[in-house]
Amino acid sequence: MSGAPLILSLRPGPYARLSEGTKQHEFRRRFPNEETSAFLYLAAPISAVVAYAEFGRPIIGTPEELAAIAEKDEAGSYADTLDYFQGVSKGYALPLLSLREIEPMPLTELRDLFGFRPPLSYRRVEAGSPLELELKKKLEKRG
C-alpha cells in the first residue's frame, strides 16, 4: 500500500457490514485513485478509531455502475447508493482486501493527545507523526 495511511470516517452500520463480510466495498464521492490502507474512525455513538483496513485500487464509475456494485454486495442497497452519489458524475467503490480490529482509541484520547478532529470523509495521517506511531503500535499489538 502506498504512502501514509488514511483515517477514514464511517458510520457504525456500514462498518458492521464490512466487518461481517456482507459489504465488500466502501463507496466514496471523492477518493485517491490508488490502493490504500486506512485506520477506520467510527462516528457517534462509537466515536473511536477501531480498525485498520486495506483497500484495493478503487473502481471508478457512474452512480448507476456503483449502485449496481452495491446491489451485488447487498441486495436492496441500489437506491440508497444512487442517492449517495446524486450530484456527481462519477464516484469510487473501494474493494475491501482485509480488515483488522485494533484496540479502540476513543475520540477524547485522540483529541487530548493529538489534537485530532474526525474527518468528514478521510484524511492522510502525517507520516512519522505521533498519531501515526500510536495507531501503528495498536495495530502491532493485535497482529
pLDDT confidence of residue 4: 81
Confidence class for position 46, pLDDT limits 50, 70, 90: very high
Burial class (CB in 10 A: 0-12, 13-18, 19+), 97: middle
pLDDT confidence of residue 29: 96
Whole-model pTM: value is 0.92
CB 130 within 8 A of CB 114: yes
| CATH class of the domain defined by 6-142 | mainly beta
